[in-house]
């Protein structure tokens, strides 16, 4: 790997000018045999070649050499089985965010500046040797003056400037690639990078990790799952101090199996916690791999490292519920509607997509719940999405990656364990939530608000109808996209529900002079349908 002062550790690290950094990346393309790809990006290294001729291993090595931002972006891509073929996912999954730790003499001044005093004034002991190190931060074990064992996480010096600079370059390369390479344009690199920038910004803020651990930890108490407590007087954006768990790391299953722990019960607790965090809480630990899980000495479960968290907004949860109901009813049209909504309503062969999904649903419709393997289902779904060039929104891709991580983990603990069995009580809880008095009151409030807005706009609507009747002319405005749809193929020729209120309004305007009573009734019906459609969309 080239000596790169842009990636040097230590306060003396100085960001290179973008042109110099770009030249370094250009050399890395050549070093890893990717001159053809560089040429297609307009970097003029050699003759152009097909994008699919690039070896995944070479691209992974390139990302590793570029630095922390590229490595973490590669790890985000490794979650996107809906976009990339299995060989790319396998290669990207091997990207390691591990680097040699910095000497304690380098990070000590940063710790002392962040805590507002010397190490000796706050800690009874402090291990100089880091117990773990990544590209963003490294971790030391220590003991506070009150004898509490803690973990001290400190952000690497200069890393924020380095990541910001490389993010700008990644965006620049992504925009060029989107214009020049159709295979990359399909991946929506701009959207991916926006999501990635938000994710890495949260990871940079060690205080955000502490807040997420506390907030999600409160929710997880009901499941008997613990998260580390943080010392808020000493924790901030650059350093955090958290409780050190005592127990068996879940990554060390051999030791766990030799203990008296009830691993089957712990697997069930873990699965319920993950599923409830995602579906009910909507705020979840997004990287619950065995290295972030502890079997604690009191027989409970502990979760650490909340640097990666996900959020599932109520709207998205509603869409997931609708998707689940459509699958249960074997309504392939409903399933397609949700998938196309998520993909941004692209132009696809809907009939062929419905046939592919119907085959998938039929394959599992007569299979017992405990015999269903989520991994198998996801692999088939991802293949269908790739086939039809449909991309999932980043938040849902994170949810699916988290679910697959969870299923893989519980099957390692207990090969007979079936995470799909845990879905039944969760479905009941979801239905209770959807029909709760509070939920119904909220929906009623939205309905009355919509009725109120419609009532307030009625005079102007009647005025417009009268104006149309008096002048005999109707101004029609059609967006270019809608015009294209009107010109589209015959299978989409059915009138959409939104057209009915407009049609009734026009009829009312035409009849206003000769049949005012009928026109009034049509106008009222038009308003009612418009309100109904609006409430339905909400």
pLDDT at 144: 96
Query: Is a pLDDT exceeding 60 seen at residue 486?
Result: no
pLDDT at 356: 92
Contacts of 502 (CB under 8 A, 6+ apart): 526
Using 50, 70 and 90 to split pLDDT, how confident is the model at 493? very low
CA torsion sign for 167, 168, 170, 175 is: positive
Mean pLDDT of 198-216: 92
Contacts of 80 (CB under 8 A, 6+ apart): 89, 187, 192, 392, 397
Residue 82 token pair: 């809906």
* pLDDT tens digits, one per residue of 451-462: 455 455 555 555
pLDDT at 303: 96
Using 50, 70 and 90 to split pLDDT, how confident is the model at 378? confident
Quick one: which of 170, 157, 155, 177 has its CA closest to 21? 170
DSSP string computed for 343-368: TTS----HHHHHHHHHHHHHHHHTS-
pLDDT at 189: 82
* pLDDT tens digits, one per residue of 382-411: 899 999 988 888 888 888 889 888 888 888
Instruction: Answer with the residue of higher pLDDT: 170 or 478.
Output: 170
**Cβ contact 471:509 at 8 Å:** no
pLDDT at 43: 65
DSSP H helical segments within 96-150, as ranges?
104-115, 119-122
Q: Say how far apart CA 334 and CA 258 lie, in whole Å.
A: 49
354 sits in the region (left: phi over 0; alpha: psi -120 to 50; else beta) called: alpha
pLDDT at 264: 87
Which of the residue ranges 402-411, 424-433, 480-489 has the most confident prediction, judged by mean pLDDT? 402-411
* pLDDT tens digits, one per residue of 326-356: 877 788 998 899 999 988 888 899 999 999 9
**Cβ contact 46:36 at 8 Å:** yes
Mean pLDDT of 498-511: 60
Query: Is a pLDDT exceeding 80 seen at residue 487?
Result: no
Q: Say how far apart CA 73 and CA 197 lie, in whole Å.
A: 9
Q: 114-118, 238-242, 385-389, 478-482 — which is least confidently predicted?
A: 478-482
Which DSSP symbol is given to 95? -
Using 50, 70 and 90 to split pLDDT, how confident is the model at 171? confident
Q: Say how far apart CA 212 and CA 222 lie, in whole Å.
A: 17
User: Count of H helices and E strands in the chain?
Assistant: 23, 11
β-pair partners for 139: 132, 153
CA distances from 405 to 84, 394, 409, 419 (A): 18, 16, 6, 11
Mean pLDDT of 1-22: 49
β-pair partners for 225: 301
β-pair partners for 358: none
- Beta-strand relationship, 239-243 and 283-285: unpaired
pLDDT at 417: 76
**Cβ contact 383:370 at 8 Å:** no
Counting beta carbons within 10 angstroms of the beta carbon of residue 379, is it exposed (0 to 12), middle (13 to 18) or buried (19 or more)?
Answer: middle
Q: Say how far apart CA 98 and CA 459 lie, in whole Å.
A: 66
Query: Is a pLDDT exceeding 50 seen at residue 132?
Result: yes
E strand or H helix that includes residue 374:
helix 374-387
Query: Is a pLDDT exceeding 90 seen at residue 137?
Result: yes
Instruction: Answer with the residue of higher pLDDT: 311 or 500.
Output: 311
pLDDT at 516: 60
pLDDT at 375: 72
Using 50, 70 and 90 to split pLDDT, how confident is the model at 473? low
pLDDT at 216: 96
pLDDT at 503: 63
Using 50, 70 and 90 to split pLDDT, how confident is the model at 11? very low
Counting beta carbons within 10 angstroms of the beta carbon of residue 370, is it exposed (0 to 12), middle (13 to 18) or buried (19 or more)?
Answer: exposed
Query: Is a pLDDT exceeding 90 seen at residue 125?
Result: yes
Please count the other Cβ atoms lying within 10 Å of the Cβ belonging to residue 315.
Answer: 8
pLDDT at 1: 39
Query: Is a pLDDT exceeding 70 seen at residue 103?
Result: yes
Quick one: which of 91, 96, 90, 49 has its CA closest to 71? 96
Q: 210-224, 239-253, 292-306, 456-470 — which is least confidently predicted?
A: 456-470
Residue 50 token pair: 């097909």
Chain centroid to CA 25: how far?
28
pLDDT at 330: 81
- Beta-strand relationship, 301-303 and 225-227: parallel
Contacts of 48 (CB under 8 A, 6+ apart): 36, 39, 40
Q: Say how far apart CA 202 and CA 315 lie, in whole Å.
A: 23
Which of the residue ranges 33-37, 44-48, 348-352, 407-411 has the most confident prediction, judged by mean pLDDT? 348-352
The percentage of the chain sitting over the pLDDT mark of 70, rounded to a whole number, equals 70
Mean pLDDT of 110-114: 95
Q: 76-85, 259-268, 364-373 — which is least confidently predicted?
A: 364-373
Give the mean pLDDT of the chain: 79
Instruction: List phi, psi (to 5°) of 118.
Output: -75, 155
* 363-368: long-range pairs with CB below 8 Å, 24+: 365/330
- Catalytic (active-site) positions: 287
Q: Say how far apart CA 425 and CA 423 lie, in whole Å.
A: 6
Q: Say how far apart CA 112 and CA 122 lie, in whole Å.
A: 10
Contacts of 32 (CB under 8 A, 6+ apart): 58, 59, 61, 62, 65
Give every strand in the sheet of 293-296, ordered side by side.
Answer: 225-227, 301-303, 293-296, 247-249
Which of the residue ranges 93-107, 409-423, 492-506 has the most confident prediction, judged by mean pLDDT? 93-107
Which DSSP symbol is given to 17? P
**Cβ contact 389:346 at 8 Å:** yes
pLDDT at 532: 64
Residue 216 token pair: 């999600």
Instruction: Answer with the residue of higher pLDDT: 367 or 376.
Output: 376
Using 50, 70 and 90 to split pLDDT, how confident is the model at 147? very high
Query: Is a pLDDT exceeding 50 seen at residue 6?
Result: no
* pLDDT tens digits, one per residue of 248-304: 999 998 898 888 888 888 998 999 999 899 988 999 999 999 999 999 988 899 999
Using 50, 70 and 90 to split pLDDT, how confident is the model at 210? very high
């Amino acid at each position: 790997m080239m000596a790169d002062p842009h990636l040097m550790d230590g306060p003396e690290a100085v960001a290179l000018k973008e042109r110099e950094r770009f030249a370094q990346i250009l050399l890395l393309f050549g070093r890893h045999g990717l001159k053809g790809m560089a040429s297609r990006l307009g970097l003029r290294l050699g003759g152009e070649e097909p994008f699919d001729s690039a070896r995944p291993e070479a691209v992974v090595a390139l990302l590793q050499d570029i630095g922390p931002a590229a490595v973490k972006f590669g790890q985000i891509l490794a979650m996107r089985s809906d976009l990339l073929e299995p060989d790319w996912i396998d290669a990207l999954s091997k990207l390691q965010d591990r680097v040699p730790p910095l000497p304690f003499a380098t990070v000590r001044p940063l710790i002392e500046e962040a805590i507002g005093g010397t190490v000796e004034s706050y800690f009874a002991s402090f291990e100089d040797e880091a117990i773990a190190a990544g590209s963003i931060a490294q971790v030391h074990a220590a003991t506070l003056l009150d004898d509490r064992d803690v973990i001290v996480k400190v952000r690497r010096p200069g890393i924020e400037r380095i990541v910001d600079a490389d993010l700008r370059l990644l965006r620049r390369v992504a925009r060029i690639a989107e214009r020049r390479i159709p295979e990359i344009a399909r991946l929506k690199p701009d959207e991916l990078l926006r999501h990635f920038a938000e994710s890495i910004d949260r990871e940079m803020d060690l205080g955000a990790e502490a807040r997420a651990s506390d907030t999600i930890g409160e929710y997880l108490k009901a499941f008997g799952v613990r998260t580390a407590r943080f010392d808020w007087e000493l924790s901030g954006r650059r350093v955090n101090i958290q409780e050190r768990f005592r127990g068996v790391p879940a990554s060390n299953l051999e030791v766990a199996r030799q203990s008296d722990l009830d691993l089957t019960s712990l697997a069930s607790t873990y699965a319920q916690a993950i599923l409830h965090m995602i579906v009910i809480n909507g705020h979840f630990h997004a990287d619950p791999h065995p290295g972030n899980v502890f079997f604690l000495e009191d027989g409970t479960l502990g979760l650490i490292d909340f640097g990666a968290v996900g959020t599932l907004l109520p709207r998205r949860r509603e869409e997931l519920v609708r998707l689940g109901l459509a699958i249960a009813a074997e309504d392939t049209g409903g399933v397609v509607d949700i998938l196309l909504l998520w993909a941004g309503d692209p132009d696809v062969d809907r009939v062929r997509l419905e046939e592919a999904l119907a085959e998938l649903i039929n394959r599992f419709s007569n299979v017992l719940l405990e015999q269903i393997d989520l991994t198998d289902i996801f692999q088939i779904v991802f293949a269908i999405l790739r086939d039809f060039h449909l991309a999932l929104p980043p938040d849902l891709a994170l949810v699916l990656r988290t679910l697959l991580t969870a299923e893989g983990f519980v099957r390692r603990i207990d090969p007979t364990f079936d995470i799909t069995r845990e879905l039944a009580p969760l479905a009941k809880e979801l239905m209770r939530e959807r029909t709760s008095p509070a939920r119904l009151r909220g929906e009623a409030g939205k309905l009355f608000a919509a009725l109120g807005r419609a009532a307030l706009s009625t005079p102007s609507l009647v005025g417009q109808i009268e104006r149309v009747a008096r002048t005999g002319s109707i101004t029609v405005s059609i967006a270019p996209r809608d015009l294209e749809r009107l010109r589209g193929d015959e299978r989409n020729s059915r009138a959409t529900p939104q057209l009915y209120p407009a049609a009734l309004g026009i009829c009312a305007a035409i009849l206003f002079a000769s049949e005012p009573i009928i026109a009034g009734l049509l106008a009222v019906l038009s308003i009612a349908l418009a309100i109904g459609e609006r409430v339905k969309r909400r």
